[in-house]
Structures are given as structure tokens and as C-alpha cells.
Amino acid sequence: MAMLGLLLVIVLLSLAAPLYAQHVAHTDPFRSNLDGTTVVDGKTVPVMQEQSEGLGLGVTPIGPTWDPEHYFLGADNQGRDVAARLLYGGRNSLLIGVSAALLTCLFGTAIGLTAGFFGGRVDGVLSRLLDVVWAFPVYLFAICLSTVLVTQSLGVGPLQLEAGSPALPIFIIGIVYIPYVGRSVRGEVLSLRKREFVEAAIGLGASSLRLLWSDILPNVVTTVIVLFPLMIALSMLTEAALSFLSIGVQPPDASWGTIILDGQGLLYTRPWVAIAPGIAIAVTVLALNVLGDGVRDALDPRARHKVGR
Amino acid sequence: MLRFVLWRMLAMVTVMFAISVLVFLIFFATPGVDPAARIAGRNADQQTLKAVRHDFGLDQPMPVQYALLMKKLFITRDLESYVNRGAKVVPQVEEAAPVTLSLVIGASLIWVATSVLMGVLAAVFRGSIVDTGLMIIGLIGISMPVFWLGEVVNLVSQSRFHDTFLFSWVPPLGYTPLTESPLGWFKSLLLPWLTLAVLYAGIYARILRSSMVEAQEQDYVRTAYAKGLTERRVLVRHSLRMSLIAYFSLFGLDFGALVGGAALLTEVVFGLHGVGKLTYDSLQNFDLPLIMATVMYAAFFVIVANALIDLLYSWLDPRVRVV
């Protein structure tokens, strides 16, 4: 429950990003602000400060002021407010994590149901397909898809995805994890098909569609619900990694992964730029993992003693 | 056993073929994407585009294009970069491979050793504070982005606490080949190893712990106790041995994920010029031939490693040999 509350707080904070940027910090986190000034201890200071020590090369963005109204977490190397970007980044990270997990669960369930229920040649083809994607290391697969897609708009039939839109990482991450769900659903369906209540329904003359919809699906849903928080966690970590490799969310948009990338160059001078989004990811993913364990224990008490992934 | 080996090898080759086709299709047949323009890199002139079309046989049917790419990648191994004009990409991958291998093998040794130790401790002291602490460490480990953890380690060891006795031994970021200086090699890799191992050690300890606890309820363990063996002997000689089988089958899966995922990111953060860093650099300047080569070789390495681990597993546990 505590974890659910924590997640709720993170979601609400991210949703409040525009409120914070406009009414508290008064900044535009997507526009570089190299000549801007801000107020520290009542004095006006430039956001990008002249380097006075060391090699004296160039400027360093202002560090954390711990004052919510003026660059709470400091600025990045374009003079943008890191705290505001962190909140906006949370929106993208959460949006991508949840949507990708939804996509994975939907398609995984559909494929798993079809393969397990119809069996035979259909199962053969679908299972081999899942096996291939399963054997393909997730990040490498995502890198392949991203290099081809991310800087390009994609049109598949009526679906139009604009270059740089968060829909692309959602689509890519959604695809690569399908076997995780598809394989477990298929296994579940195979064992359900042999159960008495399904045989009874067949004996009563139920159609395939009816069998799938009202006998098999409701029993599979539990498996998928248990997987869902874990898939969000995995998707968020993958999004962060892809963004860190610069093939996820595209600038000037922010996500927690891109902010860590922004902070990489400032690591030794302004470590908070990279540290803060990492903490945000770790806390969110941790909460999701604990929540996933809790959901599993609640829905399937027998599994409590079997820890697996 | 021979039948199983042959069957597993056949499965391995099939998966390799399927993945090579999949990669080929992604790069050459994505709707709305002109492969020549992508391979040639940003702002390529007409002449380069023409050269790319000719070199990759883009005016020929798909199967021919596929065969041509595979030949360039694995047989003649003369696939060239267009961004970095004329540079052969396969030798670059070969040069980077030892770095990646050093990283993943060392990291997995540390991760296996610590997790077995932690898992056994947790199983012995189950229900106590050691047990709970372990569960928490495991969850935190898999919840952190590895590249971020790497950056925090760098921050501490290279900058903030570099001058204290704890981290004064840490060399600057980068890799020292084993042949050049074994000690330097070890020093340059120790922190990357630990960073990667943290990710998995906790969760593996949890898995081992729960399968050991489960084994405690099995008949053969009861028999062992009935024979009058000590608890320690039963745990180590009976429960642990059985539990390690399940442990290593999972290890096989994650070892692959490690090469194609976490290790790649760790290399970038620690400036180790392995296959991951190579991929990262080629992503920065959209050097598609290099990306194709790193992805293909890494994926094949993972598939072969998985097959080998499966064989090892079947040797340990004859029950899985049933085809």
C-alpha cells in the first residue's frame, strides 16, 4: 500500500509539471536560457556562471539552490531548470513505461491466446516467432528498431508516427517485450484447455469465440495483471537506457533517461543533474517491483514461496 | 546425449538464421525508409548514395541483398563504413570483443560467487534479519539503471573521494589490456565488474534462497536428515546442489541479456572500448554498417553462449535431455 501511495505521489508530481514550471519556477524548461539570471539569497546572479577556478574554460551552470522558486536543482548546460525538466521528464518516462507495458500485455495476450487455443500450425508459427524475438537480446533489438525509426516518421497503414514523438519509443519497447507476456499466456492457455470446465463448455457446444472469451480469457487475466507492474518497470528502465543512448526520447523533450545523458558532461561539476533523475527512476521502478510482488501474492497465494521472474 | 547436442545445435543455427533475417528486414525493408540514405549517413551526396546502392545490391531482389549482406559480414568480412569512409567494421568489432568478454566474464564470476554465498546465508538464517535485508538488496539492485549506478560510482571514485585511501588506487577511466599489465587490467575493470554484479547478485541470491527452502521440503532431504547428517552437510551437499540446477538455467538467460544490455551501457559509462562503446559511438554518428555488425555479432555471441549453457545444464541434469 505504501508503494501504491508513493507511485501516486510520483504520478501526481509529474502531472503537475506545467503548474510548477509556470507558477512556481517561472521558467520554460524546453528553451535554452544561456543569458538568463536568477535570484540566490536575494541577489541576482547569472544562470551560467563564469568559471573562476580550474582551467577557467567557459561557463558552468548554476548548482542546486534548494529554493523551489529559483533553480531548485540547478541548471543544465543549456541553462534550463533541472527540477522542472525532471517533472516533465517524469511525464514522458511514465507515459512511455505504462503505454509500452499496455501494448506488450495486449499483444502478448492476443498472441498467446491465439497460439495456445488454436494450436497446430498457428501455434507453430506464432511460437517460433516469439522464440526468435525472445532469443534476440532486448536492447540489441531495440537499438536496431530505433536506429531505423527514431529520426524518421513512420507510416504503417492509417497509423502515422511523427519523428521524435514519444509514440516511437512506446512502439519499440512495446514490441521487444511481447514474448515475455506471450509465452506465459500461451503456457497458461495450454494447461487451461485440458481443465474440466473447458471440456464441459466444449461438451455444451460452446463456440471457439465463446470458449476464448468467457472461459479462457478470465483465467488468463490474472497472469497478465501480475505481469503488468513488472512490465512497466522493465519498460521504464529500457526507455531510460535507450534515451541515454540518444535513441529514445528526442531533444528538446525530456525524459529521466535524457536528463541523465544531459548530466553526464556535468557529472563532476554539477552531479545533481544526473543523480536526481536516476533516483527518480530507481524509486519508481522499485515501487513497481514491490507492487508487482504484492499483486502476485494477493492473486496467487501459492506463488508466495516461489520467487521467480 | 549426442542426440540432444545435435538437436540443440540445430535449434541454435535456426535461431541465428531467423535473427539475421529479422535484422536484415529491419534495416532494409522497413516501409517508408530508404536504406541507401540511411547507410550513407547524414547529408550524403548522390555519388555516395549510388555507391551504397551498388555495394549492397539494392536494385536486386531481397534474397540477393540478404545473401550479400551476410557475405560481407561473416565470409569476406569487408563491410565498410560510409560515415567513416573506407573503414572496415568487422575488424573493429574483433578488436573490441576482448574488452567486452573481460567485462562480462569477470562480472558474472563476482555475481555468481556473491549470490551463492548470500543465498546460502539467507536460506540458513531464513526468517531472520539477514533474510529480509537480502530481499531488499535484491529488489534495489534490479531497480537501478545500471548506467546511472556507473555514473554515481565514477563520481565517487574519480572525483569526490578519489583522494582518500579508499579510491586513490582507481585508475582514470579506460581499459588496460591484460597482455599489457595484468594488474592494470584488474584495476581498470574492478569497479565496472562490481557495478554490473550489483545489478544481479541480490536477485540471484533470492532465487537460490527460495529454491533451497523449497528443496528442504523434498523427500531426499528428509532422508538425508534421517540418516543423521548434520544440517550444514544436508544444506550444502543436497539442497544447494539441486538448487544450483535451476539457478544456472536462469543464469544462461541473463548472461545473454547482460552482454546485449547492461554490459553495453556499463562500457559507455566507464569508457571501456568494447563492443558496447563501439555501438554507442556508431549510434552517435548514425554509422549503420557498424551498428549492423555490432548487433549481429553480439546477438550471435549471446545465442551461442545460451546454447553452450544449455548443454552444460543438460550434462548436470539429464532430465532435460528429453527432446
For residue A57, what pLDDT band results from cuts at 50, 70 and 90? low
pLDDT digit string (tens) for B267-323? 999 999 999 899 888 888 888 889 999 999 988 888 888 888 888 878 877 777 765
B281-291 burial, b if ≥16 CB within 10 A, otherwise e? bbbeebbbbbb
pLDDT digit string (tens) for A36-56? 777 777 677 777 776 665 555
Q: Does A54 touch chain B (CB under 8 A)?
A: no
pLDDT of the residue at A307: 39
**CA angle at A184 for the pair A178 and A185, rounded to the nearest 5°:** 85
Task: Please answer yes or no on whether A245 and B268 come within 8 Å at the CB atom.
Answer: yes
Separation CA B263–CA B271 (nearest Å): 12
pLDDT digit string (tens) for B159-180? 788 777 777 777 888 888 888 8
pLDDT digit string (tens) for B109-149? 998 999 999 888 888 887 888 888 888 888 888 889 999 99
**Range A223-239 average pLDDT:** 92
Separation CA B247–CA A76 (nearest Å): 44
Enter the ipTM: 0.86
Separation CA A103–CA A150 (nearest Å): 18
Q: Does A276 touch chain B (CB under 8 A)?
A: no
Upstream peptide bond of A252 is cis (omega within 30 degrees of 0) = yes
**Range B190-217 average pLDDT:** 86
CB A130 within 8 A of CB A144: no
> What's the whole-model pTM score?
0.88
pLDDT digit string (tens) for B216-270? 788 888 888 888 888 888 888 888 888 887 788 778 777 877 877 888 899 999 9
Bin A246: left if φ > 0, else alpha if -120 < ψ < 50, else beta.
left
For residue A158, what pLDDT band results from cuts at 50, 70 and 90? low
**DSSP character for A75?**
B
Residues of A in contact with B161 (CB under 8 A): none
CB B165 within 8 A of CB B263: no
List the single residue in A139, A260, A306 with the smallest CB-CB distance to B210: A306
Separation CA A23–CA A11 (nearest Å): 19
pLDDT digit string (tens) for A105-153? 999 999 999 999 888 899 889 988 888 888 888 888 888 888 887 666 5
Q: Does B285 touch chain A (CB under 8 A)?
A: no
The continuous run of DSSP H or E covering A160 comes out as strand A159-161
3-class secondary-structure state, position A309: coil
Neighbours of B5 (CB within 10 A): 15
Separation CA B292–CA A254 (nearest Å): 28
A152: closest CA among A142, A160, A162?
Answer: A162
